[in-house]
Amino acid sequence: MRLRPRARHDRRTNTQVAGGSPVPADPAAFPGTSDLVLPRPARLALTAGWNLAESLGLPVVAYFAGEQVGGQGAGMVAATATIWLTAAFRKALTRSVPGLLIISALVLTLQTALVLATGSVLLFLLQFPVANLALCILFAATAPTGRPLVARLAAEVVALRQPSHAHPGLDRFFRGVTWLWAGIFAASTIGLAVLLVLEPTAVFLLLTTVVTVAGVVAGTFLSVVWFIRMLRRSGLRVHFGHA
């Protein structure tokens, strides 16, 4: 009786399978083990849109509804109550609360406390630089840790799935980008504080929107460019998962 030799697989080289098709031994060739995975575009847009809607959209709607009924203070209270109720529903249904929702709830609570403290216009305006300062501290506090805030937000807001094993280049990217956003919020805090002193209320409110939007756009652009450069240098790839 003749025994057929069994093919031995060498993990360091390409292996041969039936039909003569080589199988790369590099684990990076298999999506989900050494690559980054994103949902398909439609699912990605839905996931990101849902997170932004519950963290930003619902409080804004609640604010305008409350303001129509009882003025500025009532609007702030309505927005704060709405976002905490959303967090409670999230906890009850999924047993977890997204980081973006927690951040929005904490910052909005701080803003509401400032507005209700005296009801003064100055404190109402002061909430904008104070909110940016709070975000700066929050991002900076997590940047040097093993769980930088941007990594958590990427997983929750856009459902980014990281490789199954730690990747030094990816870890450095998330820590660096978290520091980047901390710096952006610090710059916004300083800019808004200067505008608060120099400009009248109407102009300050207009410029607050400009500064906020400009900061978010700049931070997003720099983060994306940094992400692409990290992918090229580290050899990681991005795959779209199932919808």
Q: Which residues of 175-195 are buried (b: 16+ CB within 10 A; e: fewer)?
A: bebbbbbbebbbebbebbbeb
pLDDT the model gives residue 81: 92
List C-alpha distances in Å: 53 to 45, 104, 221: 12, 11, 21
CA atoms within 13 A of residue 123's CA, in its CB half-sphere: 13
193 with 125: CB under 8 angstroms?
no
pLDDT the model gives residue 38: 73
Query: Which residues in the chain show pLDDT less than 50?
Result: 1-33, 243
Write down the pTM of the prediction: 0.69
Cα(167)–Cα(19) distance, integer angstroms: 34
pLDDT the model gives residue 5: 47
pLDDT the model gives residue 242: 57
